Amino acid sequence: MQPELKKGTAEVLILSLLEQRPRHGYEIAKLIEKRSEGVLEFHVASLYPMLYRLERRGWIEGRWLEKPGQRRRRFYKLTTAGRRALPEERKNWREFIRAIERVAQVGNA
Amino acid sequence: MRERKPIDWKRYVRQRLPTLGLSGAREQEIVEELAQQLDGAYSEALARGESVAEAEGRAAAQIPNWASLALEIRRAEQPLVEKIAATVPENWREAMREENLRKRRGGNMFADLFQDVQYALRMLRKSPGFAALVVLTLALGIGANSTIFSVINGVLLRPLPYSEPEQLVRVLESNPGKGWPTFSVSPPNFLDWRAQTHSFAGLAATENNAYTYTGGDVPERWTGPQVTEGFFETLRVQPELGRLFIPDEFQPGKNHVVVISDALWRSAFAGDPAAIGRSVSLDGQSYTVIGVMGPKFRFLSAATQVWAPLVFTPNELQNARGAHFLGDIARLGPGVSLAQAQSEMAAIAERLEKQYPVSNSGWTVAIVPLSEGGGVAQIRPALLVLLGAVGFVLLIACANAANMLLARATVRHREIAIRLALGAGRARVVRQLLTESVVLSFAGAALGLLIAFWSTRVIAALPPRFLPRAQMVSVDGRVLFFTLALALVTGILFGLAPALTLGREDLAGALKDGGRAGAARGGLRKLLVVAEVMLAFVLLSGAGLLVRSFTHLTSVDLGLQTAGRYAFDLSAPQTRYPTPQKQLEFFSQVQQRVAALPGVDSVALVSLIPISGDDEMYEVALAGQPSSESNPSALSYRVTPGFLRTMGIRLLAGRDFTAADDLTAPHVCIINDVFARAMFPGRDPIGQKIQFGHQFNIVREIVGVAGYVNQYGPAEEKSLQVYEPFAQFPRTDMSLILRTSGSGAGLAAAARVAVREVDPQQAVIGFRSFDELVSESVSLPRFRTVLLGLFAGLAALLAAAGLYGVMSYTVTQQTQEIGIRMALGAQPSQILRLMVSRGMGLVAAGVALGLAGALILTRVMQSFAAFLFGVKPNDPATLVAVTILFAVVAATACWLPAWRASRVDPLVALRYE
């Protein structure tokens, strides 16, 4: 798969996970791994730069939170811009999937 | 078991992660976050009951390559511009320096323009292949336009080389009833006009003439008009040397003086000023050279060598009101319009018509601007159509150039994004891009001018029958200005769309990926290709119709054989051969000597060479009917026996002339089949008697009927023709026709020797083959067919190149898709079919539009200039042929990139970006 594809995938995944509530990096990594039943294995080497990129783009925002009795953690939440961008990203993603399916069918025909 | 000291993950990360080059606090944050990630993995593993060593391994495996992680974080973290600066390849740095410079300098329009041009030149130097291709494409388009504009400028626009040339007109006779819009003038009519009119500041008649000059090594033919008093004064010209005619020299007996052309002065007198006053022998009579005209002076024909006074004979003045053979020149009086002069002259003609009904009924006057003379009126539609054609070629060239720019936009758009990021205004960027395209179009124009220089030189050398006023065609200031204006418009035209698409570039998008924002551009490119195909198709259809017309023209049965036939002109001047008997003897001796030449099969004399375009027409009537202007006219040929056979003209009935048809025998004639059908419908013409023009009172008996022979060219309307025995109507000027089964090489020289043996004073004039004559008769159709064909071919080539470019681009863009298809089992042949069908879709759209355009345009072309001969504007054969031709060319242009696509290795394609 081309890098472009992977990048798009991960971005949609991260944004979707943050849609429900703010999460920290480790949690995001675990969730992706769990929900994709191990198919998408995500290296930290990819996740954190991705988070920083999305933050720079203004779609997510990270903030250090200290809960009582725990060390501080950096929680990421979806910004208004990110919330607005998500449907479009999802749509692009679905289109890509559909295109792959179409091509696959034509190719087999 | 010893309790292990908990691992300090922060330190672990700090030791391994290369410096990020960020602010200290931010680096700390990142280190802390990554440490938590490792700690999380470690703790989780321990909680699962794994050993410390195993848990450590889990944590370490989270980040296999610290260097690449640092790189990725750096990329994600650094501010946009710095990030770009860090990764900008060397060839983009220029753009940044430029932009910074600009900012420092501040806005100054001219300085900006200068900078823009410099920058454009630098950018183009960096991709010389691209620049060369665009410049060449534009040069072809602009060169074609400059050339045709030079022709139009020289032939139609440039003022004639006389003072106040717009006042100069030709006053001609006109007989609308006989289908002659303009006609030569008869001397009595001319003199009456001159006596009665008040419209003109000058009015002078001319009569074409030719002399045999015998002062040189060999006899030479000098041509030039005799002119009446006021000719040079009307043109307002002065001689370069000597003087012009004085009134006294228009008196009979005092008129043996000549003014000669600069060219003749140089060739016959070696440019010696002492030529003035020299006596020369013309047709055996002595004339005095009194003046030499300047090198630029020409009247209607550049070939004119000599001018002499025209003095009418008493016979011409009294009896020749129906004999039309004069040309003339007039200058409108001050404040007199063409329409005023026309109405005055029409009134005069009406009076003359009442006064001389026999000769003048049906005749009126047509005034034609001099600038319309010499075939200019006939060539104008052809030139305008050609201008339209080269306009199409340039549009196609523009579309191609735009396409190339759009393809390059893929490469350029990161550079543009950088400049936008650095704060350049979008308008500024668009202007920069337009400057680049204008620089390209100016380079194309420079090359195009070279093409025009070269091609106008070729055109200027064309004979006048091919293109009137051809010698006026050159690249002058006006052409230069036209070309520069064209270059500017062209540059903006083809640069605008690419510049606007690039200027609208989405900044983030451009930097995000390597150039996939090309979907909109792809659509535009396809549109351009459809337009190109459409324009090229219209041009090819037009050219196809002309080619079909031309083949029809050249396959017309001319009524004679041309192969191995040659002709030259010959005179027996009255001064040396005063009696008809002596003239007959001279011609007969020449005929015998030429017939005896090796390789010559047969020889005949004729007064009017068929297919030459010259004419000699007289009225014709059944015996006993009076002479009248309402009588039909027939072409007159005086011939020797055997002429019809020598020329390969069919004798349909009766007999040819024989040696017995001489001065003492009853007068006989042969008519053509058109004559027979018109005058003797349903009757046998043989034995009928007619009266004919030049000696109307003599009754001739018809002894034969010949097939129709073309006189003016294949597209002419068929006219009546009458052949008479030369022996019964001798004259001083004849043409000799000879037929050879050999090659014809050396015949001219041999004929010259033969004539010299009979009379060393007489010249062989204008030796030419009948193939040349026929070829000349279709010179105008050939001119427009060849040029339009050339431009249409160029258009098709450019359109094919454009199609190829877009297809190659599309294939490159779709490499991934092709890879996926192939990975999923598509066969190369399927890919090939798919890609070709996509390209052919564009072609089909273009051809459909082109077909509609062609149907409209060719109809317009036909209505405004009757170019087509034997073909209808919607000729299905032509349209089908052009469509097939186009389909083949287009399929080739699509097939190559598609074939490349079908050979793509799926693995490579999938990885392709």
Tens of pLDDT, residue by residue over B239-293, are 999 999 999 999 988 889 999 999 999 989 999 999 999 999 988 889 999 999 9
Q: Do the Cβ atoms of A10 and A35 come closer than 8 Å?
A: no
Of A30, A49, A107, the CB nearest to B72: A49
Predicted confidence (pLDDT) at residue B58 exceeds the cutoff of 80: yes
Sign of CA dihedral B590, B594, B597, B602: negative
Q: Which pLDDT score, from 0 to 100, does residue B465 have?
A: 65
Q: Tell which wins on pLDDT, A69 or B225.
A: B225
CB–CB contact B63 A24 (8 Å): no
Predicted confidence (pLDDT) at residue B686 exceeds the cutoff of 70: yes
Domains, in order of start, for chain A: 3-108 (1.10.10.10)
Q: Which pLDDT score, from 0 to 100, does residue B516 have?
A: 46
According to DSSP, residue B157 is labeled: I
Q: Which pLDDT score, from 0 to 100, does residue B609 have?
A: 93
How far, in Å, CA of B577 to CA of B590, rounded? 14
DSSP element (H, E) containing B1: none
Question: Which of B12, B34, B72 would you mutate first to test chain A, the one with the most A CBs within 10 A?
Answer: B72
Q: Is A32 on the interface with B (CB under 8 A)?
A: no
DSSP assignment of B780-848 equals HHHHHHHHHHHHHHHHHHHHHHHHHHHHHHHHHHTHHHHHHHHHTT--HHHHHHHHHHHHHHHHHHHHH
Radius of gyration of chain A (CA): 16
Residues of B with CB under 8 A from a CB of A: 29-30, 32-34, 36-38, 40, 62-65, 68-69, 72-73, 75-77, 508, 513, 516, 816-817, 820-826, 910-911, 913
Predicted confidence (pLDDT) at residue A9 exceeds the cutoff of 90: no
Say whether B290 sits in a helix, a strand or coil. Answer: strand
Sign of CA dihedral B618, B619, B621, B626: negative
Residue B468 CA, distance from chain mean position: 14
Alpha-carbon gap: B820 to the closest alpha carbon of chain A (Å): 7
Give the model's confidence band at B343: pLDDT under 50 very low, under 70 low, under 90 confident, else very high: very high
User: What are the start-end ranges of the H helices in B153-283?
Assistant: 187-196, 231-235, 262-269
Of B364-378, B508-522, B691-705, the range with the lowest mean pLDDT is B508-522
How far, in Å, CA of B845 to CA of B828, rounded? 26
Q: Which pLDDT score, from 0 to 100, does residue B92 have?
A: 54
Of A26, A44, A106, the CB nearest to B63: A44
Alpha-carbon gap: B811 to the closest alpha carbon of chain A (Å): 16
B845 CB-contact burial (10 Å; exposed 0-12 / middle 13-18 / buried 19+): middle
Give the model's confidence band at A3: pLDDT under 50 very low, under 70 low, under 90 confident, else very high: very low
Predicted confidence (pLDDT) at residue B824 exceeds the cutoff of 90: no
Predicted confidence (pLDDT) at residue B691 exceeds the cutoff of 90: yes
Q: Do the Cβ atoms of A46 and A10 come closer than 8 Å?
A: yes
Q: Tell which wins on pLDDT, B861 or B639.
A: B639
Q: Which pLDDT score, from 0 to 100, does residue B447 have?
A: 94
Enumerate the residues of chain B whose CB falls inside 8 A of the CB of residue A73. 36
Any idea how long chain B is?
A: 913
According to DSSP, residue B155 is labeled: I
Predicted confidence (pLDDT) at residue B517 exceeds the cutoff of 50: no
- Exposure string of B356-394, with b = 16+ CB inside 10 Å and e = fewer, is beebbebbbbbbbbbbebbbbbebeebbbbbebbbbbbb
Q: Do the Cβ atoms of B568 and B768 come closer than 8 Å?
A: yes
Q: Tell which wins on pLDDT, B763 or B680.
A: B680
CB–CB contact B77 A52 (8 Å): yes
Q: Which pLDDT score, from 0 to 100, does residue B333 have?
A: 93
Alpha-carbon gap: B112 to the closest alpha carbon of chain A (Å): 34
Q: Average pLDDT, stretch B51-58? A: 89
Predicted confidence (pLDDT) at residue B518 exceeds the cutoff of 70: no
Predicted confidence (pLDDT) at residue A108 exceeds the cutoff of 50: no
Q: Note the pLDDT tens digit of each residue in A75-96.
A: 999 998 889 888 888 887 887 7
Alpha-carbon gap: A63 to the closest alpha carbon of chain B (Å): 10
Give the model's confidence band at A107: pLDDT under 50 very low, under 70 low, under 90 confident, else very high: very low
Q: Tell which wins on pLDDT, B386 or B421.
A: B386
Of B30, B76, B821, the CB nearest to A107: B821
Listed in sequence order, the residues at least 6 apart from B252 whose beta carbon sits closer than 8 Å to its beta carbon are B311
Question: Which of A28, A48, A51 would you mutate first to test chain B, the one with the most B CBs within 10 A?
Answer: A48
Q: Note the pLDDT tens digit of each residue in B644-670.
A: 999 999 999 999 999 999 989 999 999
CB–CB contact B816 A74 (8 Å): no
B669 CB-contact burial (10 Å; exposed 0-12 / middle 13-18 / buried 19+): buried
Please give the structure tokens belonging to residue B895: 């097939």
- Exposure string of B676-708, with b = 16+ CB inside 10 Å and e = fewer, is bebbbeeeebbebebbbbeebeeebebbbbbbb
Predicted confidence (pLDDT) at residue B5 exceeds the cutoff of 90: no
Give the model's confidence band at B1: pLDDT under 50 very low, under 70 low, under 90 confident, else very high: very low
Q: Tell which wins on pLDDT, A70 or A14.
A: A14
User: What are the start-end ranges of the H helices in B281-375?
Assistant: 314-319, 338-355, 357-360
Give the model's confidence band at B590: pLDDT under 50 very low, under 70 low, under 90 confident, else very high: very high
Q: Which pLDDT score, from 0 to 100, does residue B610 have?
A: 92
Percent with pLDDT over 90 in chain B = 33
Q: Note the pLDDT tens digit of each residue in B221-230.
A: 888 999 999 9
How far, in Å, CA of A17 to CA of A90, rounded? 13
Q: Which pLDDT score, from 0 to 100, does residue A4 have?
A: 46
Give the model's confidence band at B515: pLDDT under 50 very low, under 70 low, under 90 confident, else very high: very low
Enumerate the residues of chain A whose CB falls inside 8 A of the CB of residue B63. 43-45
How far, in Å, CA of B565 to CA of B739, rounded? 5
CB–CB contact A25 B33 (8 Å): yes
Q: Note the pLDDT tens digit of each residue in B859-891.
A: 877 776 667 788 888 888 888 998 898 888 888
Q: What is the dihedral of CA B560, B561, B562, B567, to 10 degrees?
A: -70
How far, in Å, CA of B813 to CA of B716, rounded? 58
Radius of gyration of chain B (CA): 41
Give the model's confidence band at B339: pLDDT under 50 very low, under 70 low, under 90 confident, else very high: very high
Predicted confidence (pLDDT) at residue B206 exceeds the cutoff of 90: yes
Enumerate the residues of chain A whose CB falls inside 8 A of the CB of residue B516. 4
CA-nearest of B385, B477, B411 to B867 is B385
- Cα B566-B567-B569 angle, rounded to 5 deg: 160
- Exposure string of B774-811, with b = 16+ CB inside 10 Å and e = fewer, is bebbbbbbbbbbebbbbbbebbbebbbbbbbbbbbbbb
Listed in sequence order, the residues at least 6 apart from B432 whose beta carbon sits closer than 8 Å to its beta carbon are B116, B119, B120
Q: Tell which wins on pLDDT, B735 or B210.
A: B735
Question: Helices (H) and strands (E) in chain A — how many of each?
Answer: 4, 3
Instruction: Give me the total of CB pairs closer than 8 Å, taking one residue from chain A and one from chain B.
Output: 80
How far, in Å, CA of B115 to CA of B431, rounded? 12
Q: Which pLDDT score, from 0 to 100, does residue B526 have?
A: 83
Question: Which of A7, A51, A56 would you mutate first to test chain B, the one with the most B CBs within 10 A?
Answer: A56
Cβ atoms < 10 Å from Cβ of B12: 19
Percent with pLDDT over 70 in chain B = 90
Q: Which pLDDT score, from 0 to 100, does residue B89 have?
A: 52
Q: Which pLDDT score, from 0 to 100, does residue A41 have?
A: 59
Q: Note the pLDDT tens digit of each residue in B134-146.
A: 899 899 999 999 9
Listed in sequence order, the residues at least 6 apart from B606 whose beta carbon sits closer than 8 Å to its beta carbon are B637, B638, B639, B640, B643, B726, B734, B735, B737
How far, in Å, CA of B12 to CA of B26, rounded? 17
Predicted confidence (pLDDT) at residue B82 exceeds the cutoff of 60: no
- Mean pLDDT across chain B, nearest whole number? 85
Q: Tell which wins on pLDDT, A20 or B85.
A: A20
Residue A37 CA, distance from chain mean position: 16
Q: Which pLDDT score, from 0 to 100, does residue A2 have?
A: 39
CB–CB contact A103 B64 (8 Å): no
Enumerate the residues of chain A whose CB falls inside 8 A of the CB of residue B38. 44
